Copies of this chain bind each other. A is one copy, B any other.
Amino acid sequence: MKLSARNQLPGKVKHIDTGMVTAEVVIALDGGGEITSVITKKAVENLGLTVGKKVYAVVKSTEVMVAVD
C-alpha cells in the first residue's frame, strides 16, 4: 500500500505505554531523535508492535507545524 502522507520516517520502537483505549509509542528515529505517537491499543496489537521492531512514523503534511526560536 502506497500512502499520500508524505512524511514516513524510519525508526525502531523504543517504548510502549498501554492504556485502556490508547497507547503511547515512542520511536527512536534512524536519523537520531525520537518521535512520540498516540494510537489505539488495538492498532498496537494489529501491527504486533514490540520494543525494537522496525517501524515508520507517518504524518500527514497538514498536521506538521513549523516553529522558529
Contact = CB atoms under 8 A, between A and B. Distances in A.
B6 A17 contact: no
A5 to B, nearest CB: 5
Number of copies: 6
Interface residues of A, number: 55
A50 to B, nearest CB: 11
Contacts of A9: 33, 35
Contacts of A58: 3-4, 64-67
A39 interface: yes
Contacts of A20: 17-20
A59 interface: yes
Given A6-B40, A24-B42, A56 B61 contact: no
